[in-house]
A and B are shown apart, each in its own frame.
Chain A
Amino acid sequence: MSTGISVSALGARPATAVRGVSIEIGGIPILLRSDDADFCRMLERRYAGFVNPNATPACEFEIDLQEPAEPSDEDAHVSRDGKTWFFRRGDFRAEWDMETRRGRVRQTPNPYSIDTVLRIVHSLVLAEEDGFLLHAASAVRSGQAYLFSGVSGAGKTTISRLAPSGVAVLTDEVSYVRKRPCGYRAYGTPFAGELARVGENLSAPFGAVFFLEKGPVNRIEPISDAVAVRALLRNTLFFSHDEQLVRRVFDSACEFVSRVATARLIFKPDVSVWRLIG
């Protein structure tokens, strides 16, 4: 399968300096190269707090901008052929070589295409090291990270909005779970939901994972590991149905649940819920 763009062409970069923005999420810097100054400025604004020009990139993408077109609301299609991943949606086409860690994106000059590409690449990189991206809010209180997962409407944005002072919101939309030698850590992401605010760029070890449910009184209920794994996997970002990848993420979710405290958090939408957390 081919998107009609060549990853190998990356080796033949022109001698003139190519602009680029290095966006570091979860401690994984991805360099986005583009010779369009306006586009680079847009990236710097959008990912403010996550731009790290001094980082050695873990992955690089060459971005070819095309004429503006209508944004696409279809799902991104992600597939793999050998060591090359292909991502496409109406508004972009990309390929990424897992071995060289280099890729190319052809997109219109909008912020949404590259945002989706970043989510996909991070989900693939994380899967290699037993981590994952999750539809969840997360926040740090007293040095511990708390993750709040749930379907749309479960209260991810609400709980983030209610966070009292002293709580750093990592994200209200897409949580970043990375396995480190010392255990699992949650990282802030610039992927914002209804709160429309990028998360704090910091990380912390996990205190607990809560699966959200709105109710008349605040309470925490224990759940079995099986229920927790199912709830986690239901909210995991699977961009691809690649068999190997799905298996890997499944195993990662099982291991994560065996090492991190999980519970159901039934809450009424006011600030009192935070008395139960941390």
Chain B
Amino acid sequence: MSEKYIARSSAVASRVLDGEIVIMSALDSTLFSLSEVATMIWQSADGLTPLSEIVQQRICAEFNVTPDTAYQDAEAFVEDLARHGILRVSSRPIPENGSGNRADS
């Protein structure tokens, strides 16, 4: 399994309000609602922590779910957000300023 790194796109406006996250794509003003698990992944998307580690340390630690199932769900989620242009996914760490390694999507 190749490792995945995820980072929030710079073309996004987001705010946590009363523990709920509101995300808007600055590209087309689409609004996104995230579940509790998805919010956890979104908030951990620092470009440096591998997705497998986010799943293991945050999702599996918090919810009663097997690592394989959690990872598959997380992978599908990040790919979906990447398709909407609000999350970047790469096989290499993504530096904060976006320079260096180019994200795959």
Chain A residues with CB under 8 Å of chain B are 224-227, 229-230, 233-234, 238, 241, 243, 246-247, 250-251, 254, 257
Contact = CB atoms under 8 A, between A and B. Distances in A.
Given A233-B24, A246-B24, A246-B27, 9 more contacts: A225-B17, A225-B18, A229-B15, A229-B22, A241-B27, A241-B28, A246-B26, A247-B13, A254-B22
26 contacts: A224-B17, A224-B20, A225-B20, A226-B17, A226-B18, A229-B15, A229-B17, A229-B22, A230-B33, A233-B24, A233-B31, A234-B31, A241-B26, A241-B27, A241-B28, A243-B11, A243-B26, A246-B13, A246-B24, A246-B25, A246-B26, A247-B13, A250-B26, A251-B13, A254-B17, A254-B22
Contact of A246 (B15, B20, B29, B33): B29
Interface of B: 11, 13, 15, 17-18, 20-22, 24-29, 31, 33
Contacts of A224: 17-18, 20
A173 to B, nearest CB: 20
A134 B11 CA distance: 23
Contacts, number: 49
A241 B29 contact: yes
Residues of A contacting B: mostly: helix
A135 B27 CA distance: 21
A233 B28 CA distance: 12
Nearest to B15: A254
A226 B11 CA distance: 20
A182 to B, nearest CB: 24
Nearest to A238: B29
A124 B50 CA distance: 41
Contact of B22 (A230, A241, A243, A246): A230
Contacts of B11: 243
Given A233-B31, A251-B13, A226 B21 contact: yes
A273 B32 CA distance: 32
Nearest to A246: B26
Contacts of A243: 11, 26-27
B14 to A, nearest CB: 8
